[in-house]
Amino acid sequence: MSAIGSLVFCTDCGNLLEPSKGVKDSILKCECCGTENKDTTSKTITTTTKPSSFPSLLRQKRSAIQTVERSDMKNEAVIQVTCPECGRKEVRYSAVQLRSADEGSTIFYSCDCGHKWNTNN
């Protein structure tokens, strides 16, 4: 029998055995091949770490509230869309991922007349 953490596997067929009862020298029977395996999980050592044990710049930047810097939105391009305010046929736009990754991005439009609007893809 081999143990990985609290998971115990049969030595003959590799099948996952029933959870250990934590009793020393107990026998776990494999339901697949019938082999009797000694319970060695009492010998397993479990360690835990704190997130602060492995500091990273990414973890430090993570927060519940995410902000979008104005400099991140400076990737404007020109598109053939009519401004609803002045009727101009060409406006600038930029796309920003404000919602979760499996949802569309938000498109921000701006016209030379000063009118701004956005749409969610």
CATH number of the domain at 107, please: 2.20.25.10
Is residue 25 within 8 Å of 42, Cβ to Cβ? no
Binding site residue list for Zn(2+): 10, 13, 30, 33, 83, 86, 111, 113
Please give the annotated binding residues, written as ranges: 10, 13, 30, 33, 83, 86, 111, 113
Determine the structural domain holding residue 86 and report its residue range.
70-120
Full-model pTM: 0.40
Contacts for 73 with CB less than 8 Å, ≥ 6 apart: 94, 96, 108
The answer as to whether 48 is a domain residue is: no
pLDDT digits (tens, 9 = 90+) for 30-50: 888 988 887 766 665 667 777
Residues 116 and 80 in one domain: yes
Token code pair at residue 102: 């499996």
Residue 55 located in a structural domain: no
Residue 114 inside a domain? The answer is yes
Contacts of 6 (CB under 8 A, 6+ apart): 19, 20, 41, 44, 46
Burial class (CB in 10 A: 0-12, 13-18, 19+), 91: buried
CA distance 19 to 86: 70
Give 54-90 pLDDT, tens digit per residue: 777 776 666 666 676 766 656 778 999 999 999 999 9
Answer yes or no: do 116 and 74 share one domain.
yes
- DSSP secondary structure letters along 18-36: PPP---TT-EEE-TTT--E
* 56 belongs to a structural domain: no
Number of domains in the chain: 2
